[in-house]
Amino acid sequence: MVRFLNVNKDYGKLSVIHQLDFDVAEGEMVTIIGPSGSGKTTVLRILMTLEPISGGVIYVNGKPLTHMAKAGVLVPADERHFRQMRSSIGMCFQHFNLFPHMTALQNCMEGPVQVLGLAKKEARERSEELLTMVGMIDKKDQHPSRLSGGQQQRVAIARALAMRPKVMLFDEVTSALDPEVIGEVTNVIRKLVAEHNLTMLMVTHQMGFARDISDRVCFFYGGKIEEEGSPHDLFENPQRDRTRQFLSAVKEAY
């Protein structure tokens, strides 16, 4: 579903992602863990086309993400191609980024109406269904400023899902939340995993959650995958020193 081939990302002289090869199968839930600055967020931002890549090719659903085929060769994509590719990808951010001038419902309806061209009524039905799924239907007419962090994040998940993406990206969606509301967001993600065939890529620092929910866990270090495997293998029996160090450091911290 998602394939990174020899992808590089540099910021000036700093190489953040280095020759990354990475595959995610359809319907797979992959969690990315790793120390701060290892490039976890960058991988998601590249996929969401919020950052251009410096080298390599990415395929999403068989189509090149940042390139278009023109007369048999791949050339850098234009804005239209980007927009078309984006519509199959949804992303949730650490700081929610809901639109503050719109209610929860309007936040969810914006994409379906403006991008997919749905009629208001249809967009509303779709959004209300999703807000019900995330448990936010009774707050649908509230502006984000009236919602708690956990509530905002659940609306943000509904907003992303309203575009019916094939791939969902979650970047530390619980990191900015108070401990007692983390559960309401992780429960929504659990539900997505159980009930939908979405391909998901999640960055998290919650190792317990990663372990319960993932099909595969990737440990990033220095812009590369240092080690990957099933949650059981990676957490119980890490092969690499750096993985072991990271896991024991995280265990101490929590």
Partner 1 sequence: MSIWEFLRTYGPALASGTLTTCTEFVLATAIAIIVAVVMGLAKLSSNWLIRAPAIVYIEIFRGTSLLVQLYWIFFVLPLFGITLPKSIAGFLSVGLNCGAYGAELVRGAIQSVPRGQWEAATAISLSPAVRMRRIILPQALSIMLPPWGNLLIELLKGTALVALISVSDLMFEVKQINAMTYLSAQAFGTALVIYYLLARFLITPFMRWLERVVARGLGRV
Ligand X SMILES: Nc1ncnc2c1ncn2[C@@H]1O[C@H](COP(=O)(O)OP(=O)(O)OP(=O)(O)O)[C@@H](O)[C@H]1O
Chain residues binding Mg ion by CB under 5 A are 41
The number of angstroms, rounded, from the C-alpha of 106 to the middle of its chain's C-alpha atoms is 22
Interstrand relation of 167-171 and 89-92 (parallel, antiparallel or unpaired): parallel
> Which residue's CB is nearer to ligand X, number 39 or number 150?
39
Shortest distance, CB of residue 157 to ligand X, whole angstroms? 19
> Which residue's CB is nearer to ligand X, number 14 or number 71?
14
Q: Which does 240 bind (CB under 5 to 8 A by kind): ligand X, partner 1, Mg ion, none?
A: none
> Which residue's CB is nearer to partner 1, number 96 or number 220?
96
Q: Where are the alpha helices (DSSP H) in the chain?
A: 40-47, 79-86, 104-114, 120-133, 149-161, 179-195, 207-213, 231-236, 241-253
Cβ-closest position to ligand X: 41
Backbone φ and ψ of 224, nearest 5° = -135, 160
> Which residue's CB is nearer to partner 1, number 79 or number 252?
79
> Which residue's CB is nearer to partner 1, number 156 or number 203?
156
Using CA atoms, how far apart are residues 40 and 119, in angstroms rounded to an integer? Answer: 37
Shortest distance, CB of residue 19 to partner 1, whole angstroms? 26
Residues in Cβ contact with 213 at an 8 Å cutoff, skipping those fewer than 6 apart: 29, 31, 189, 190, 193, 202
Shortest distance, CB of residue 81 to partner 1, whole angstroms? 12
Q: How many helices (H) and strands (E) in the chain? A: 9, 12
3-class DSSP assignment, residue 217: strand
Shortest distance, CB of residue 37 to ligand X, whole angstroms? 4
> How long is the chain?
254
Interstrand relation of 2-11 and 14-24 (parallel, antiparallel or unpaired): antiparallel
Using CA atoms, how far apart are residues 30 and 33, in angstroms rounded to an integer? Answer: 10
Q: Which residues bind ligand X (CB under 6 A)?
A: 11, 14, 16, 34, 36-42
Q: Which does 159 bind (CB under 5 to 8 A by kind): partner 1, ligand X, Mg ion, none?
A: partner 1
Q: Which residues bind partner 1 (CB under 8 A)?
A: 48-50, 79, 83, 86-87, 89-91, 93, 95, 97-101, 103, 110-111, 114-115, 142-146, 156, 159-160, 162-163
Shortest distance, CB of residue 115 to ligand X, whole angstroms? 26
> Which residue's CB is nearer to ligand X, number 47 or number 68?
47
Shortest distance, CB of residue 45 to Mg ion, whole angstroms? 9
